Amino acid sequence: MNSIKYLLTQTINTIKDEGIKSFIKKTYVYISNGMKRPEQECKDVLFINGCTLPHPKRYRIDHQREQLQSNGISTDEVFYEELTLEHQKYYRAFVFFRCPITDTIKEFIQKAKYNNKTIFYDIDDLVFDKEYTKTIKYLDTMSEDERNLYYDGVKRMGDTLKLCDYATTTTNRLALELQKYVKEVYINKNVASEKMCQLSMDAVKEVIKDENKVILGYLSGSITHNPDFELILPVIIKLMEKYKNVYLKIVGILDIPKKLEQFKDRIIFEKFTDWTNLPKIIASLDINLAPIEDTLFNEAKSENKWMEAGLVKVPTIASKVGAFKIIKNNDDGILVSNNENNWYEELEKLILSKEKREMLGKKAYDRIMKEYISTYSGYNYTKFIKSKLTKSIAFILPTTNISGGVNVIIKHCNILRNNGYDVFIINMDKYENNVINNDGEIDVISCLKTQIRCHLNKMVASLWTTVYFAKQYNNVDKIAYLVQNFETNFLKYGNNVKQIANTTYTFDDIEYLTISKWCENWLINDFERQVKYAPNGINLNQFSVTKREFKGKIRILIEGNSEDYYKNVDESFEIVNKLDRDKYEIKYLSYQGEPKKWYYVDEFLHKVPYDEVGKIYNSADILIKSSILESFSYPPLEMMATGGISVVAPNDGNIEYLKNEENCLLYEPGNIADAIKKIEMIRTDEELRNKLIQGGIETAKSREWSKVEKDILKIYN
């Protein structure tokens, strides 16, 4: 709150010296940065990496992040073991990549769904069900303990998948299988990053090939690929026997068959290396070999080998299996069936024709540069992610300290969340403690600690100081202002800030909302604004009826901040100070200000949690409320709901529901004697008391939140 006070003290000089535009800009910069570098950021999508292998993580997290960021979606990533429940409130959606289930992930997803965040599962292999992985031949070489550990990881990935809303993947076959687990699957094929492009272009320029050699390349990637290489082993042997200029370069992990030992002088080994070295290695090849067994597991694999070779203009000859079918045969690559004759025939043609190799490599390069680069290929993926995000609304508050206006906003937040919105509070104070009450929990993010970068469908300002923050935020579809009072009158005459507060009712690019008929009227009549109105409500579960006896001392409650002149608490105490203390007991409830020395108070109730306020009303017989200015005055309605009686000075913000001698007694503002007379009438007239109590209870029932919920939802649509 100190930061807001500081901001206001700087306002007058800024307006005088630099004008309103400069004030607005400086206000936004101060609040959004908190005069120091933000501790964290609030973004659109968080990727949670569950894979320890660098290659899959690079393609499915780094490259997809580039795609989204190139299309206006902000992202972050975290390793799954470092994920905390706190991450949930700083992002709108989450992508779990190959993540095994943990207790934290289970609780995290549950909390994210409670807040209507969207959960995606991304996977690039059939490693989420034992039925798929049991076909991997390499598993037969493992010990039973190793195999059981592997299967446990597979099951745990499947368990996480089942908790997600949607899946994203690389190939048609994977999508077909994933559809059994989630309601919708999107295919976002593997693409190259900007860095891969740069390294590949550099490699093409730098690598000089030996015209006397034709180098065949096999990039194995992992030890599970040995059976794939064995498919073409007889073909490789025959061709190397026939053509002495044919060499074989093997990159990665591969068990070299003894049958190739006779060609050891023409076999080049490259150990598993960092991906940044691969473009030069691949560029040194003349032909890229991509044999793959025709199995369900392999059908789900992507066309990475073809793409990586095409980036350096090297042609690929591949098995006609799974994703390799995207290759246009004899145009940007060669597709062959998995029989020896077909492989031998097509590979020999490539060995013998440099022109064909160059043509195929150039065509592959052209297609990849058009369809497979992160920056240029992410629009549809981004469109899919956006289409699955729930509608987002952020409310801006100067502080989350308890007050009537803050309570209204928190109630609106809970109603919106219960109806499927992704909703949170941006606090202009430094505190980020979530708001928790009987209705649920609302996330709170401090703009002094966190830089807000996520896309929002709507940002709702509250107090006038928050309007300027909203107007400077660019990543939002609509800005609204929930007007709960005529805040110009909050500031005394002669205060230059008054004109800035008043300006907030004049903006043409803001949608005006209110919960007060009085505010609706002056916004329309005085400022010609279009206004959406929803009536205020009350939670009757929190304010239960208690029968009053009106015997012994009558208990009077005064509510309001003594420091706010418009609450006019002084007048309430001028009234009670003149009452007979033998007949009346005085309670004072304040969320902020304390009693002044001259106040007569039997019991002071300070900063009572809102969930316990109902008990305070139940403990009193009469409420005195003397406010000069209210948009919608809650205390009289809350007192009515408990079966108590209100004595109130009428103002524009309470006459919407107060009816003199029907559900309350109204006294003439400033007329202390009139107020005392009304209090004495309540004490002595049982028939009047019963009438007012019954009328008050009926009024409160008509304002129960469930009866106004549809109206509230309508103003935010």
Domain ranges of the chain: 2-34+390-533, 40-187, 194-372, 554-705
303 with 326: CB under 8 angstroms? yes
Query: Of the given ranges (346-350, 385-389, 407-411, 523-527), which has the lowest mean pLDDT?
Result: 407-411
pLDDT tens sequence across 157-174: 999 999 999 999 999 999
pLDDT tens sequence across 418-476: 999 999 999 999 999 999 988 899 999 999 999 999 999 999 999 999 999 999 999 99
* pLDDT: which is higher, 269 or 81: 81
In this predicted structure, the answer to whether residue 594 has a pLDDT above a threshold of 70 is: yes
Return the pLDDT at 494: 78
CA dihedral over 223, 228, 234, 236, signed as positive or negative: negative
The pTM of the full predicted model, rounded to 2 decimals, is: 0.86
Return the pLDDT at 34: 45
Return the pLDDT at 382: 98
The position carrying tokens 């409670």 is 114
pLDDT tens sequence across 541-568: 889 999 999 999 999 999 999 998 889 9
In this predicted structure, the answer to whether residue 306 has a pLDDT above a threshold of 50 is: yes
CA distances, 27 to each of 10, 465, 471 (Å): 9, 9, 11
Return the pLDDT at 491: 79
CA distances, 346 to each of 211, 236, 312, 537 (Å): 21, 12, 21, 77
Q: Any idea how long the chain is?
A: 717
In this predicted structure, the answer to whether residue 682 has a pLDDT above a threshold of 70 is: yes
Q: How many CB atoms lie within 10 A of CB 297?
A: 20
| Residues ≥6 apart with Cβ < 8 Å to 554 | 583, 584, 585, 621, 622, 679, 682, 683
Give the N- to C-terminal CA distance of the chain in Å, as an integer: 31
The pairing of beta strand 440-442 with beta strand 435-437: antiparallel
In this predicted structure, the answer to whether residue 4 has a pLDDT above a threshold of 50 is: no
In this predicted structure, the answer to whether residue 495 has a pLDDT above a threshold of 80 is: no
Return the pLDDT at 12: 46
pLDDT tens sequence across 695-710: 999 999 999 999 999 9
Q: Average pLDDT of 626-634?
A: 87
* pLDDT: which is higher, 151 or 12: 151
Distance CA 388, CA 71 (A): 16
361 with 310: CB under 8 angstroms? yes
**Which stretch of DSSP H or E encloses residue 318?**
strand 316-319
pLDDT tens sequence across 88-136: 999 999 999 999 999 999 999 999 999 999 999 999 998 888 777 776 7
What's the angle, vertex CA 196, arms to CA 211 and CA 356, rounded to 5? 35
Return the pLDDT at 133: 75
**Which stretch of DSSP H or E encloses residue 638?**
helix 634-641
Cα–Cα nearest to 641, from 657, 628, 627, 629? 657
In this predicted structure, the answer to whether residue 221 has a pLDDT above a threshold of 70 is: no
Distance CA 714, CA 717 (A): 5
In this predicted structure, the answer to whether residue 684 has a pLDDT above a threshold of 80 is: yes
Distance CA 575, CA 494 (A): 30
Indicate the CATH number for domain 194-372. Answer: 3.40.50.2000
In this predicted structure, the answer to whether residue 15 has a pLDDT above a threshold of 70 is: no
In this predicted structure, the answer to whether residue 611 has a pLDDT above a threshold of 90 is: no
| Residues ≥6 apart with Cβ < 8 Å to 54 | 275
Q: Average pLDDT of 570-578?
A: 97
Q: Mean pLDDT score of the chain, rounded to an integer?
A: 91
Q: What's the pLDDT band for 291 if we cut at 50, 70, 90?
A: very high
Distance CA 671, CA 350 (A): 104
Partners of residue 397 on adjacent β-strands: 427
**CATH architecture observed for domain 554-705:** 3-Layer(aba) Sandwich (3.40)
In this predicted structure, the answer to whether residue 489 has a pLDDT above a threshold of 80 is: yes
Q: What's the pLDDT band for 2 if we cut at 50, 70, 90?
A: very low
Cα–Cα nearest to 165, from 123, 111, 109, 115? 109
The backbone torsions φ and ψ at residue 595, rounded to the nearest 5 degrees and listed phi first, read -60, 140
**Percent of the chain having pLDDT more than 90?**
76
477 with 494: CB under 8 angstroms? no
Query: Which residue pairs, CB below 8 angstroms and at least 24 apart, start in 26-30?
Result: 27/465, 27/468, 27/469, 27/472, 28/468, 28/469, 28/471, 28/472, 28/473, 30/3
481 with 504: CB under 8 angstroms? yes
The backbone torsions φ and ψ at residue 346, rounded to the nearest 5 degrees and listed phi first, read -75, -35
**Which stretch of DSSP H or E encloses residue 91?**
strand 91-97
Q: What's the pLDDT band for 5 if we cut at 50, 70, 90?
A: very low
In this predicted structure, the answer to whether residue 259 has a pLDDT above a threshold of 90 is: no
pLDDT tens sequence across 641-656: 999 999 999 998 899 8
Q: What's the pLDDT band for 38 if we cut at 50, 70, 90?
A: low
| Residues ≥6 apart with Cβ < 8 Å to 651 | 627, 628, 629, 630, 633, 669
In this predicted structure, the answer to whether residue 33 has a pLDDT above a threshold of 60 is: no
The pairing of beta strand 40-49 with beta strand 334-336: unpaired
DSSP string, 120-161: EEEESSS-S-HHHHTT-GGGGGS-HHHHHHHHHHHHHHHHHH
| Residues ≥6 apart with Cβ < 8 Å to 513 | 460, 480, 481, 482, 483, 531, 532, 533, 534, 715, 716
456 with 392: CB under 8 angstroms? yes
Q: Is 386 exposed, middle or buried (0-12, 13-18, 19+ CB in 10 A)?
A: middle
CATH topology of domain 2-34+390-533: Rossmann fold (3.40.50)
DSSP string, 349-400: HHHH-HHHHHHHHHHHHHHHHHHSBHHHH-HHHHHHHHHHSPPEEEEEES--
pLDDT tens sequence across 316-343: 999 999 999 999 999 999 999 999 999 9
Tell me whether the CATH fold assigned to 194-372 matches the one assigned to 554-705.
yes
pLDDT tens sequence across 525-546: 999 999 999 999 998 988 999 9
Which stretches within 19-143 are classed as H helix? Answer: 20-33, 54-57, 63-69, 103-114, 130-133
DSSP string, 510-551: SEEEES-HHHHHHHHHHH---EEE----B-TTTS--------
In this predicted structure, the answer to whether residue 233 has a pLDDT above a threshold of 50 is: yes
Indicate the CATH number for domain 40-187. Answer: 3.40.50
519 with 485: CB under 8 angstroms? yes
In this predicted structure, the answer to whether residue 226 has a pLDDT above a threshold of 80 is: no
